Amino acid sequence: MKTEVRNLSRVFGKTVAVNDISFSFEDGNIFGFIGPNGAGKTTTIRIMATLDLATSGDVFYDGVSATLYPEAVRRVVGYMPDSLPGYKDIQVWEYLDFFARSFGLKGAERTRALNDIVEFTNLGELRGKFLFALSKGMKQRVSLARALIHNPKVLIMDEPAAGLDPRARHELRTLLKILAEQKKAIFLSSHILSELQDICDGAVIIEQGKLLSAGTLDDLLAQVNGGAPASPAPARAQTGESADLSGAAAASAPQTAPKGVSVSLKTPRGEAEPVRLKLLEHPLTRSVDVFDDDEVHAIIEGNDAEVSRVVGTVFAAGLTVLSFNRNQMGLEELFMKITQGKVQ
């Protein structure tokens, strides 16, 4: 199923929350929706889920208009809000059963759907608990189960990982990958860009209600680098590829690095700043950032041999680096370079 957002705008009084944005994605893909707070993400998601009306433009699911045929669209779209209502008088199984009935599931079909979704989201032990008594992670699992109860082709999620502990985020990522393998299209907003990096095929980036960039991760990287998409390179989160910085390795490094190579250097705690300053001294260094006081991320212009020479200046200065990774620019770096931090 192809989802198309066409020239979508939403105005509240004098505020233009969404300003003429267009993008598309297809089944089997996971697309991240990212932007600063107040960028218009939730407004866009609510319109896509038929919970709000656009001022102009529309959303189409295999050509079916969400504005003209909302009932038809709701049967193929599952919506997961950023929080689950804390009703005090309803149990998990009652909540899910209510939505199963709302989607017209009856008899054995409803029973089978409920059992399948409870098993998929691992809610078996929580069936009899009241919603208000659940933890944040448990509520998110119930919310996901509700969104999937009618087996939709498109899943739209608003900040599904917000407030989750590491284990719950890992479980959520695993479930999303399984759903994508089942050929569902998944569109989710999140502020945890490292989480999206692990699972997303592409991203849509907006700021102040305007579309800044959209496409696969390679497409976004190419836009930042100002050229054609780079040759495929594994992301750091997936490979953790190490590079030897000896002179022999630098001399024999393949000349294949794209313009604007992203590298990460792990340092002892508290020793990242001198490494950052040393890298900035080199004319091929575009930018350098420090994370968690022990990790330096740099964008270096040139091929692999030039990148190795730039990083080699850190060793020549006697600074300590525990590991060095050459990686394709991640979502967090792309986001920082594409957006400007503006708000409505």
Per-residue pLDDT reduced to its tens digit, 126-148: 999 999 999 888 999 999 999 99
Pick from 149, 148, 50: which is nearest to 109 by CA? 149
Based on the number of CB atoms within 10 Å of its own CB, is 269 exposed (0-12), middle (13-18) or buried (19 or more)? exposed
Structure-token pair, residue 265: 């250097």
pLDDT at residue 251 above 50?
Answer: no
The full set of domains in the chain, from first to last, is 2-222 (3.40.50.300), 231-327 (3.30.70.100)
Per-residue pLDDT reduced to its tens digit, 18-70: 999 999 999 999 999 999 888 999 999 999 999 999 999 999 999 999 999 99
Measured between alpha carbons, how far apart are the two ends of the chain, in Å? 33
pLDDT at residue 326 above 60?
Answer: yes
**3-state class of 48 per DSSP?**
helix
pTM of the model: 0.72
Q: Residue 14's pLDDT is what?
A: 93
User: Who contacts 116 (Cβ-Cβ below 8 Å, separation ≥6)?
Assistant: none
Based on the number of CB atoms within 10 Å of its own CB, is 343 exposed (0-12), middle (13-18) or buried (19 or more)? exposed
- What's the mean pLDDT in 320-338? 77
pLDDT at residue 236 above 50?
Answer: no
Q: Count the neighbouring beta carbons within 10 Å of the beta carbon of residue 30.
A: 24
| Beta pairing, strands 185-189 & 30-34 | parallel
Phi, then psi, of 302 in degrees rounded to 5? 135, -175
232 band by pLDDT with thresholds 50, 70 and 90 = very low
Q: Residue 169's pLDDT is what?
A: 85
Q: Residue 343's pLDDT is what?
A: 58
Q: Do residues 148 and 80 make contact, with C-beta atoms less than 8 angstroms apart? A: no
pLDDT at residue 329 above 80?
Answer: no
Q: Percentage of residues in the chain with pLDDT exceeding 90? A: 59
Name the region of 209 (left: φ>0; alpha: ψ -120 to 50; beta: rest): left
Can you tell me which residue has the tokens 């575009």?
Answer: 286
- What's the mean pLDDT in 60-87? 93
- What's the mean pLDDT in 238-264? 44
